[in-house]
């Protein structure tokens, strides 16, 4: 399946269907039919199965995407693409947690330490394993003021940033300088990036050429990008 996120494509117009008069006429015509015909007419057609493959075209009105990196995804276009390319640690569906890369998040008794456990056997789209190192790397970059990430301020409490450490290959510990009721809800906005892709980048990750062909963890992978035209993704 291929997803095309194309600039300038507006939502397809749907023709209004005026059925009330037709339904009334059919009801009168069928009123004299026998029971078998009534039953047949009343039986709804079976639902069609969803087709695999094809294209998904999403209209974008806010211009070309910015840096294709979750640490800088603050505009609508980039966020739309990021949510297809990368998986979050978890998300909320109402009050219910839907786990993504993580399988649990446990607070300490004083709510100053939060322990995140990743699912086993996760892989980046290039086949490399997703581990606690990637999560720690992501947050260290996010919290680095030189990286000017849009999300940094969300994890600073009383002018002090949280700290992140690796417990084991699949476990990460977040230590907050003060209790924050918003922490668990804020964490859903972070999409980890692969350490092995960006580890040797000494400068500003927003300007890294590695963003031109991103390696994500989500259900779609990068296919092609043409500025002013479209951003193409393939289903995995």
Instruction: Report domain extents, the chain.
Output: 65-211
Do 151 and 187 form a contact (C-beta atoms < 8 A)? no
* pLDDT value for 60: 56
10-23 average pLDDT score = 35
pTM of the full predicted structure? 0.76
Q: Which of 52-61, 174-183, 202-211 has the lowest mean pLDDT?
A: 52-61
Architecture of the domain defined by 65-211? Alpha-Beta Complex (3.90)
Using pLDDT thresholds of 50, 70 and 90, give the confidence band for residue 66: confident
- Cα separation, 186 vs 134, in Å, equals 18
The β-bridge partners of 118 are 102
- Cα separation, 205 vs 72, in Å, equals 9
* pLDDT value for 5: 40
* pLDDT value for 57: 56
């Amino acid at each position: 399946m291929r997803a095309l996120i194309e600039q300038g494509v507006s939502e397809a117009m749907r023709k209004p269907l005026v059925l009330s008069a037709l339904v009334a006429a059919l009801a009168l015509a069928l009123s004299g039919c026998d029971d078998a015909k009534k039953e047949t007419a009343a039986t709804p057609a079976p639902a069609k199965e969803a087709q695999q493959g094809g294209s998904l075209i999403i209209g974008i009105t806010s211009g070309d995407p910015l840096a294709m990196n979750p640490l800088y995804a603050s505009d609508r276009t980039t966020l739309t693409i990021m949510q297809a390319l990368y998986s979050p640690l978890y998300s909320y569906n109402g009050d219910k947690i839907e786990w993504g890369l993580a399988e649990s998040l446990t607070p300490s008794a004083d709510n100053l330490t939060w322990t995140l456990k990743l699912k086993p056997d996760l892989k980046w789209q290039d086949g490399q394993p997703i581990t606690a190192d990637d999560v720690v790397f992501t947050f260290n970059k996010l919290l680095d003021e030189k990286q000017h990430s849009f999300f940094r301020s969300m994890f600073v409490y009383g002018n002090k940033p949280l700290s992140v450490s690796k417990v084991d290959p699949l476990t990460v510990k977040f230590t907050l300088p003060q209790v924050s009721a918003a922490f668990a809800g804020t964490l859903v906005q972070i999409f980890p990036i692969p350490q092995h892709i960006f580890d040797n980048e000494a400068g500003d990750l927003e300007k890294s050429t590695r963003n031109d062909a991103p390696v994500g963890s989500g259900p779609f992978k990068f296919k092609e990008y043409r500025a002013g035209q479209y951003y193409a993704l393939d289903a995995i």
